[in-house]
Amino acid sequence: MNLEVVKADSKNTDFIELIKLLDDDLGERYGELQKQYKKHNKVHYINDVVIIYKDKVPVACGGFKEHDINTIELKRIFVMKEHRGQGLSKLIINKLEELARSKEYKYAILETGIKQNEAINLYKNNGYYLIQNYEPYVGNTNSICMKKTLSDDQKNI
């Protein structure tokens, strides 16, 4: 097995194809409810994307956008079904956090759905903790928001 991690942006055609699969997956889980999230999942503005290729085939992706001067928001984390359980999502998250640290961000936040138990557990196992839902998810009972401190000098705050 040959893994390659590539830094890209949201214009990358492999990223676009992977997030179409993500949207299909979310549609299966949430049905009509998923449509309310469509406006929050636009990716034409994401400059920081990571794609994992396995034997030259794109199998996983994720990205982040700036939430505020100190914080990034993880977006569109996805691993193709047949490649799950191999640590690829953790690798995506680690690469995105590494990239965020190199840009001097101190925190990472994210939103995921209440039916995505595997994602919630993944984030918890990688140091994320539950927070109050941030905009635009405030009051949305189908959303779970989480946060992690990225910089060592902020861990004691």
pLDDT (0 to 100) of residue 32: 65
Confidence at 33, pLDDT banded by 50, 70, 90: low
Confidence at 157, pLDDT banded by 50, 70, 90: very low
Confidence at 151, pLDDT banded by 50, 70, 90: confident
Q: Please tell me the total count of domains within the chain.
A: 1
- pLDDT tens, residue by residue, 86-102: 999 999 999 999 999 99
We report the CATH number of the domain holding residue 74 as 3.40.630.30
Q: Is 57 helix (H, G, I), strand (E, B) or coil?
A: strand
More confident residue, 85 or 27: 85
- pLDDT tens, residue by residue, 39-59: 445 556 789 999 999 999 999
Tally of CA atoms within 13 A in the half-sphere of 93 that contains its CB = 21
pLDDT (0 to 100) of residue 23: 84
DSSP state of 99: H
For residue 67, the one-letter residue type is H
Give me the domain span that covers residue 92. 3-154
CA distance 84 to 34: 22
